[in-house]
Structure formats: structure tokens, C-alpha cells
């Protein structure tokens, strides 16, 4: 049984986000980039997260929560809207849990921008 991709348990990691994480090719859409960034959070791939952050909004450093108690529960992409002008929006819900506390629901509307043919994460809003 191949390792399942963190972003989609029904697809093998090697056929989903791994080629993006290894830089073998660029994300074909903002949604694919968003999924690969979720997987990178799950796998603790800090360099990938920084490399796919738009230079205008990229933090100088990124501290990932590497607590062994943190467990990502899954990703649900709600909406992907590509405006066709190099900008796109992806709305998603990610769930995680820390220890035995109740699961936390992270609902974000992320903005992406394409620069020289590559998608980058710009920023996100958290709808209530
Ligand atoms: Zn994936």
C-alpha cells in the first residue's frame, strides 16, 4: 500500500503532492498548489512553504508547530475560482487536533497569484 497523500487519502503521495514537493514540476493550478501546501504543513516541509509564498507577502521565517500532539485530520477544498488574469481564489476547510482537545476547523479563503507561470500563495481571509 503506497503512502497516501495528506491532501487526499485516496491518492498516493507519489502521484499527488510529492512531485511538487520535490520540485519535479510546478503546480498546474492554484488548487493543486494549495493542496501541496496543506500536505507540506502536514509533513513539515518548511522550505516548500516559503518557496511557494509570494515574495510580496512571504514571511522572513516560518515556525511550524512540530508538536507530536498535533494531528492533521484532512482537507476539504470548497471552491476554486481562477479569474484567468493570473489570480485565483481557493476556499478550503482543514481540520486538526492537538492531543485530546476537540478538533479545530480552519476555514480559509486563500488568494493566489501566478508569476512567470508559477502559482504562489498570496494571503488568506478567515470567513466567520
Ligand atoms: Zn496531495
Tell me: the pLDDT tens digits for 93-111? 999 999 999 999 999 999 9
Cα(65)–Cα(74) distance, rounded to whole angstroms?
A: 17
pLDDT of the residue at 128:
77
pLDDT band at 90 (very low <50, low <70, confident <90, very high): very high
The β-bridge partners of 82 are: 88
Tell me which residue range forms the domain holding 33.
Answer: 4-125
| Residues ≥6 apart with Cβ < 8 Å to 106 | 93, 94, 95, 96, 126
Cα(38)–Cα(41) distance, rounded to whole angstroms?
A: 5
Cα(4)–Cα(11) distance, rounded to whole angstroms?
A: 6
Write down the pTM of the prediction: 0.95
The helix/strand/coil state of 73 is: strand
* Gap from CA of 21 to ligand 1 centroid (Å): 10
Q: How buried is 16 (Cβ within 10 angstroms: 0-12 exposed, 13-18 middle, 19+ buried)? A: buried
What's 31's domain CATH number? 3.10.450.50
The arithmetic mean of pLDDT across residues 64-77, rounded, is 91
* Gap from CA of 32 to ligand 1 centroid (Å): 8
* Gap from CA of 69 to ligand 1 centroid (Å): 22
Element (H, E) at 32: helix 30-43
* Gap from CA of 116 to ligand 1 centroid (Å): 23
Phi and psi at 44, nearest 5°, equal: 75, 35
Split into its structural domains, the chain has a count of: 1
Amino acid at each position: 500500500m503506497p503512502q497516501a497523500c495528506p491532501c487526499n487519502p485516496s491518492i498516493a503521495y507519489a502521484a499527488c503532492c510529492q512531485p511538487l514537493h520535490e520540485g519535479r514540476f510546478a503546480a498546474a493550478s492554484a488548487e493543486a498548489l494549495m493542496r501541496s501546501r496543506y500536505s507540506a504543513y502536514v509533513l513539515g516541509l518548511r522550505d516548500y512553504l516559503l518557496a511557494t509564498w509570494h515574495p510580496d507577502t512571504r514571511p522572513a521565517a516560518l515556525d511550524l508547530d512540530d508538536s507530536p500532539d498535533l494531528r492533521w485530520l484532512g482537507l476539504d477544498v470548497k471552491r476554486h475560482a481562477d479569474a484567468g488574469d493570473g489570480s485565483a481564489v481557493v476556499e478550503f476547510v482543514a481540520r486538526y487536533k492537538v492531543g485530546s482537545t476537540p478538533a479545530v476547523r480552519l476555514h480559509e479563503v486563500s488568494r493566489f497569484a501566478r508569476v512567470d507561470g508559477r502559482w504562489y500563495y498570496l494571503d488568506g481571509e478567515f470567513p466567520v
